[in-house]
Amino acid sequence: MKKLAIYGLNLLLSLSFSINCMAVESINLANGEWPPYHSKKLKYYGFVSRIITEAFALKSIKVNYKFLPWKRGMILAQRGDLDGTAVWRYKDKFAKDFYYSDSVLGTNTVFFHLKNFPFKWNSFDDLKGMRIGGTIGYGYNEEYDKAEQSQEFIIHRVPRDEQNFAKLLAGRIDIFPITTEVGYYILQTKFRLKDQQLITHHTQSLTPSKERNLHLLLSKKIEKNKQVLILFNLGLEQLKQSGKLRQYHEELYQGKYQNN
């Protein structure tokens, strides 16, 4: 098995060498605020920004990030004013304008709850009678949307994620959905250690399987991007094979991205 992995990596490196003759020196990407994945204020510009930067660096390509509101960054990349935007879940409506990279990171939206709350669920019917939190402007999944519209469930939304954690701690809601890494980052940075220790999450995901992966999007308006995508995917695979991706993820929970 180990020999097979080495052979595969050598094949990738050989392919990479043949493509590198393009001599792409830099790439301009839209970025935005989504800590700990992305932020102008974080070390490495965040966990996912680091992965993208390092994958391109393995192919001798420098990444220039332009931090913008997400929608604005998407528009500029669609027009070809920027090379691409990072990162997004797969949507059919984006595929006509962008090349999708291999998965940069797999994510899950899960329910957080107090450790002393005996929470189990298999379907949304199990959530009837529970007080469910939500954040204004977020889409979770179709079941959550239907439950909210049906008024058969007790769902309350507030403007910010940290308000939902405060409501959990105060006993005003029972469960609250948020992406796993984002949830624990907010707890680490906004709440006292003794409060953090009161909260956990259920492992079952609300995220549809086809939307769990986050991807780099490269604009189809820019001719070189077909080849740039190949280079990025090769660099990303090298990071995976080297164990660096696992290392970066572990460092996220050690608080190593909190200061730029």
Q: How far apart are CA 173 and CA 140, in angstroms?
A: 17
Q: In terms of C-beta density within 10 A (0-12 exposed, 13-18 middle, 19 or more buried), how is residue 148 classed?
A: middle
Asked if the model's pLDDT at residue 132 lies above 70, the reply is yes
At 97 the three-state DSSP class reads coil
- Helix 2-19 and helix 225-242: axis angle, to 10°? 150
How far apart (Å, rounded) are the C-alpha atoms in residues 80 and 62?
Answer: 18
* pLDDT value of residue 22: 55
Q: What is the mean pLDDT of the chain?
A: 91
Residue 18 has pLDDT above 60, yes or no: no
Bond from prior residue into 36 cis (ω within 30 degrees of 0) = yes
CA 146, chain centre distance (Å): 24
Asked if pLDDT for residue 224 goes beyond 50, the answer is yes
Structure tokens at 166: 């405060």
Q: pLDDT band at 98, cuts 50/70/90? A: very high
Reply yes or no on whether the pLDDT at 24 is more than 90: no
User: pLDDT category, 253, cuts 50, 70, 90?
Assistant: confident
Beta bridge partners of 175: 113, 132
Confidence of residue 240 (pLDDT cuts 50, 70, 90): very high
pLDDT of res. 211: 85
Sheet of 154-158: strand order equals: 154-158, 131-135, 175-179, 109-114, 199-201
Query: Given a cut of 70, is residue 234 above it in pLDDT?
Result: yes
- How long a stretch of residues is the chain? 260
Distance, CA of 173 to chain centre: 26
pLDDT confidence of 256, banded at 50, 70, 90? confident
Distance of CA 165 to the CA centre of its chain: 20
Cα(112)–Cα(108) distance, rounded to whole angstroms? 12
